[in-house]
A and B are shown apart, each in its own frame.
Chain A
Amino acid sequence: MPTPTDDVMRTADGTPLKISLQRALVRSRLRALLLVLPLLAFVLVFFLFPIGHMLFRSVDNRIVGSVLPRTAVAIQDWDPDRAKLPDEAVFEALVRDIQAAFKDRTLGRVGRRLNYEKPGMSSLFRKSGRGAARITGAPYRDRMIAIDKRWGDSSTWRLIHRESGALTSAYFLAAADLKLSERGAIVRQPEPRRIYLTLFYRTLWMSGLITVLCLLLGYPVSYLLATLPLRISNLLMILVLLPFWTSLLVRTTAWIALLQTEGVLNDIMVFAGLLSEDGRLQMIHNKFGTVVAMVHILLPFMILPLYSVMKTIPPSLMRAARSLGATPFTAFVRVYMPNTVAGVGAGCIMVFILSIGYYITPALVGGRTGTFISNFIALHVGETLNWGLAAALGALLLGLVLALYLIYDRIVGVDNMKLG
C-alpha cells in the first residue's frame, strides 16, 4: 500500500482525517442549521431589523436635505461663523424649495424637525409656505424677510446649515439633556429643560430598588417552594403564578384601589386608629406606589429562576454543613446562599431589565415622581411623534442595559446564570 510520507493522519482511502471528519460533520451541521433557521429568520426580521431601524432613526437626519434639497446644497458655501446672511442665491433656492414642498405638503415635516432644535420653526415654515407660494421673482431675500423677519436672523440660517447633513447628533444630545449651541458647541440644556438625565437616574435607582425588594421578598418564598413537600409547594407555585393569569391593567388598578388615600389600606389603618382621618397616607401616584405595584408584578420573574436553582441544591448540603458544626445561620449563609448565586443573578437581571423598560404601571400609578424613562419613550413614540428622540432614548437605555450586563458578566459570570 502506498503510504504518504508526511505524518498527516489519513483514512483508509488516503484522504486526510481532518477533511473526512469535516465532510462527516457538514451534514449534521446543515441539519442543525435547518432546525434553527426559522428562529434565526424570525429574530432577524422581527427583532434585529426593527431594532437596527429604530437605532438608525436616532441619527437619521434626511428630512432637511430631502425637503429643501436646493437650499441644503446652496448653503454649504455660506460661512455660519460670520454674522452675514446668506446671499441671494441661497434665498432663491429656499423659495423654490418651499414652493415645491408646499405643493407636495412636505413643508410641515421640515418645520417640525427644525422645531425640535429651535421653538418657533414650525410656525415659521407654515407661515412661509403660504407666503412663498406668492413670490414670483427677485428680490427673494427681502421678500422672505418681509414674510417673517426670522429669515433675516442668522441663527435661523445657522440651524438650517447645521441640520442639512444626512446624520445628526441632535437627538442623542437631547436625550442626554445637551444641545448644540448656535456656534456648534455642545452645551447643557437650560436648567428648566433638563429632564432626561434625572429620569435615567430615577429609572435606574428605582429599578435597582425594585430588584432588591423582589430579591428580599422572593428569596424566602423560593426557598419554601423548593423545600416544602410537592403537594404544598405546587399549591404555592400556583399562587405565585396566579398574577400571570390576570391582566396587567387589572392588577395595577387593584393596587390603586388598595393604596389610594380613600382606599382599603388607609381605611383599615384609620379604623384601627393608627391614622387620623386627616392623616391618611399618600401611597399611590408617587414613587412608593410605583415600587409596590412593580414589585408585585415582577416578583414571579425573581421567584422562578431562584426556585429552579434552589430545587437543584440537595438538602444534604445543608445537613452536611450542620453536621460539620455550622449553626443554621452560618450553614445558610456560607453554604446555601453561595449555591443560589446563579438564580439570584438571573432573577435580578431579569427583574432589573424588565423594570427598566416598564411603562404601563409607572404611567398609571407613578404620578409625578414615579415615572420612568420608558414613559417618555412612549410619549415621543405615540404622542409627539418625535421618533428620533424616542430612538435616541431607547438606544441609550439599550446601551445602559448592555453595559450593566457586561458588568454583571465581569462580577458573576454569565455562564453562572440560570434562567430556568
Chain B
Amino acid sequence: MKRVWSSLAMVAALALAAGSAQAQNLNVVSWGGAYTASQQQAYHDPYMAANPGVKIVNHDLGSGALAKLRAEVESGKVTLDLIDMTAADAIIACDEGLVEPIEPDTWLAAAPDGTPASKDFFAGTLTVGGTNCFIPQIVYSTTFGYRTDAFKGKQPSSLLDVFDLKAFPGKRALEKRPNNNMEWALIADGVPAKDVYKMLSTDEGVARAFAKLDTIKDQVIWWTKGAQPPQLLADGEVVIASAYNGRLFSAIVEKKQPIAIVWDWQAFDLDGWVVPKGGKNLAAVKKYVRFATDTQRLADQAKYISYGPARHSSAGLVGKHAKLGVDMKPHMPTSPENSKTVLISDYVWWADHQAELNDKFNAWLAK
C-alpha cells in the first residue's frame, strides 16, 4: 500500500512539473486547408522553432469565426487568441467592439530598410473601413476562371466577356452575395469604375445592376463556399466562374485542370489578423503577430499559396513555389501584369449598404 501511495505521489509531482514547463498555447483561428497550411509553414513552424515555449494550435472556423468571437466576447470567456478574417468581417468585429485596436508602429515590425509598418503596408489597409483593428496579411482577389476547352477560337479575356452569352455561351458560377457582382454588373454596363458606388447608392443604380445581371441570370449557378467554383469548372458544370485566385491557382498549376484566369476587373480583398478583446495571452499574441507579419514571413507565405503579401517590402522577396518550383510572381493578383484593372471594394460604403443590398439581392435571386 505504501508503494502505491508513493508512486501516486510521484505521478502527481511529474504532472505538476509538466504543467509548469507546459508550452503556452496560442489558439489561432483560420480558414483551414491550403491556407492554414501556408500559414503553418511560413509563420507557425519557424516561430515555434524559435520559441520552444509556445505552441500554436490551429482552429478552422472559416466564416464562422465572427459568430464564435462574438459569443465568446459576450460571455466573457475568450479562448481565441488570434483570428484570421477578411477585411469586411474585421470591420464588423471592430465596430462591434469585439477586437483590440492596433497601434501599427508599436505592434508591427518595420521593413528591413527601416520604413515603419504604417507606411510599409499597402495604403489604407491598416485602417480599412475607417477602423483600426485589422492587420492585413495578404491581398487576394475574386476573379474569373474559365475552361480553356469550352470555346473554339476566341477565349474570354475581359469582364465584358463574362456577361457576353452570345460569344461565350455556357453556364457561369458567381458568388451568392451582392458584393463584387453588383460592381461588376455596372462596370460591364459601361459605368466608370469611380462612379460605381455613387451609382449603387441610388435605386436606379441598383436596378441597373440587376438588369445587367438579369441578362445572364438563367445561366448562373450561385456558389457559397470557396471550394465550389473550381469544382464546378473542373466538372464542366460551368464554363466561367468567379473564384478566389488562390483556388484557381491550385486548380490550374497543382491539379493541371484546363482552366485559365481572366484578371480583368479582379476584385481585391484583404485578409488579415484581428486580436479578440479580452484574450488571456495578449503579450504573447503581440510577440507572435510582430513576427508573423514581418516582411520576410509575408513573402514566405507566397511560396505556398498564390496570395500577394500586404507589404510593399515583401513584393521583391516573392520567389518560387516551395514544391512546384513555379515562379509565383506572375500568379500574384498584385503583379503589375494582372492588376491593370482592379475593383477595390469600398468597405465604408458596404458597411452602410450591406444589409439593404443583401435583402435586395436575395429578393432578386428568388424572382
Contacts and interface: CB of A to CB of B under 8 A. Distances in A.
Given A115-B351, A260-B237, A195 B97 contact: no
Given A112-B96, A364-B224, A369 B101 contact: no
B224 to A, nearest CB: 6
Contacts of A112: 92, 95-96, 351
A285 B221 contact: yes
Given A198-B363, A369-B366, A119 B355 contact: yes
A281 to B, nearest CB: 13
B362 A376 contact: yes
B358 interface: yes
Interface centre among A105, A130, A202 (most CB of B within 10 A): A105
Given A105-B101, A126-B348, A192-B206, A119 B356 contact: yes
A368 B101 CA distance: 39
Contact of B66 (A115, A257, A368, A385): A385
A364 B222 CA distance: 9
A42 to B, nearest CB: 18
B130 interface: yes
Contacts of A382: 63-64, 66-67
Contacts of A195: 359, 362-363, 366
A189 interface: yes
Nearest to B132: A105
B97 A194 contact: no
B235 interface: yes
B355 A199 contact: no
Interface in A262-308: 262-263, 285
Contacts of A130: 130
Nearest to A112: B95
A279 B236 CA distance: 15
B113 interface: no
B221 to A, nearest CB: 5
A369 B97 CA distance: 36
Contacts of B96: 108-109, 112, 385
A189 B95 CA distance: 26
B235 A260 contact: yes
A181 interface: no
A295 B130 CA distance: 47
B290 interface: no
Contact of B348 (A105, A121, A123, A194): A123
A120 interface: yes
Contacts of B94: 105, 108
Contacts of B365: 368-369
Contacts of A199: 366
A156 interface: no
Contacts of A13: none
A119 B97 contact: no
A193 interface: yes
B171 interface: yes
A193 B66 contact: no
B70 interface: yes
A383 interface: yes
A111 interface: yes
Interface in B215-234: 220-222, 224-225
A180 to B, nearest CB: 16
Contacts of A193: 356, 359-360, 363
A364 B89 CA distance: 22
A385 B92 contact: yes
Nearest to A383: B63
A367 interface: yes
Interface centre among A104, A116, A192, A262 (most CB of B within 10 A): A192
Contacts of B364: 192
Interface in A123-137: 123, 126-127, 130
A30 B63 CA distance: 48
B77 interface: no
A242 B41 CA distance: 39
A262 B236 contact: yes
Interface centre among A122, A126, A199 (most CB of B within 10 A): A122
Interface string A369-390: 1000000100101111111000
Nearest to B207: A192
A115 B130 CA distance: 16
Contact of A384 (B171, B235, B354, B366): B354
Given A195-B366, A261-B171, A363 B66 contact: no
A154 interface: no
A106 interface: yes
B349 interface: yes
Given A262-B235, A368-B222, A106 B366 contact: no
Contacts of A367: 221-222
B362 A108 contact: no
A199 B367 CA distance: 11
Interface in B84-126: 89, 92, 94-97, 101
Contacts of B176: 368
Contacts of A384: 92, 354-355, 358
Contacts of A381: 67
B63 A121 contact: no
Contact of B352 (A104, A123, A262, A379): A123
Interface string B62-81: 01101100100000000000
A268 to B, nearest CB: 16
Contacts of B67: 381-382, 385
B352 A122 contact: yes
B340 interface: no
Nearest to B362: A195
B92 A123 contact: no
A192 to B, nearest CB: 5
Interface centre among A199, A367, A383, A387 (most CB of B within 10 A): A383
A385 to B, nearest CB: 5
Interface centre among B171, B203, B221, B348 (most CB of A within 10 A): B221
Contacts of A285: 221-222
Given A112-B92, A193-B359, 4 more contacts: A119-B355, A126-B130, A192-B206, A364-B224
11 contacts: A112-B95, A119-B352, A123-B130, A123-B348, A126-B130, A192-B203, A193-B359, A260-B237, A262-B235, A384-B355, A387-B70
Q: A-B pairs with the 8 shortest C-beta distances?
A: A108-B95, A195-B363, A262-B236, A193-B359, A368-B365, A122-B351, A119-B356, A382-B67
